Amino acid sequence: MPIPDTAATLPETRPCPLCGTTLDPAQPEECPRCDWVRGAPETPEEETRVGTPRDLAAMIMSVVPGLGHFYKGHKIVGALLFAGGMIAIGICSVIATATMGLGLLLIPLYWVGVMLHVYWVEDRAHPPV
């Protein structure tokens, strides 16, 4: 009587792509430790969602450049953007003298850039659950 090939009868085991735990051969499509499921997105929808009320509040606070970044937990970036706002106002006033005031149009451009950045940056002070 021939001996059956044990390698062909054993199910293949492999690690979970997220946490590295060996997947159960009976259910290789989901991980019991980290709740990974084959075919599901790698990151939960809550983590990639933008446009939360905190994002909107931070964007409104960024009327003072850097304040919204402080609100979302980016203290160093907030301080740099606040200092950069003061420098931008100074440079734009000098440019405005040479361009009949058109240099002042650069200030709203800076503010819009700061506001959009704080809207899209991750929230460190209150991370999603």
- Indicate whether 97 and 63 sit together in one domain: yes
- Indicate whether 18 and 72 sit together in one domain: no
- Indicate whether 90 and 113 sit together in one domain: yes
Number of residues that this document lists for the chain: 129
Query: What was the pLDDT predicted at 33?
Result: 76
Buried-exposed string 88-120: b where 16+ CB fall within 10 A, e elsewhere: beeebeeebeeeeeebeebbeebbeebbebbbe
Query: What was the pLDDT predicted at 65?
Result: 92
Cα atoms found within 13 Å of the Cα of residue 89, Cβ hemisphere only: 8
- Indicate whether 87 and 114 sit together in one domain: yes
Nearest residue to 16 via CA among 27, 31, 37, 26 = 31
- Indicate whether 37 and 65 sit together in one domain: no
pLDDT at 30 over 90: no
- Indicate whether 37 and 69 sit together in one domain: no
Query: What was the pLDDT predicted at 82?
Result: 94
Q: Are 66 and 114 spatial neighbours (Cβ–Cβ below 8 Å)?
A: yes
Query: What was the pLDDT predicted at 32?
Result: 75
- Indicate whether 115 and 97 sit together in one domain: yes
Q: Which range has highest mean pLDDT (8-17, 26-35, 66-75)?
A: 66-75
How do residues 43-95 score in pLDDT, each as one tens digit?
Answer: 554 454 567 889 999 999 999 999 999 999 999 999 999 999 999 899 999 99
Residue 128 CB partners (closer than 8 Å, separation 6+)? 46, 47, 49
Cα atoms found within 13 Å of the Cα of residue 15, Cβ hemisphere only: 5
- Indicate whether 60 and 89 sit together in one domain: yes
The three-state secondary structure class of 15 is strand
How do residues 94-104 score in pLDDT, each as one tens digit?
Answer: 999 988 888 88
- Indicate whether 35 and 94 sit together in one domain: no
- Give the global pTM: 0.58
- Expressed as residue numbers, the domain containing 29 is 13-42
- Indicate whether 66 and 30 sit together in one domain: no
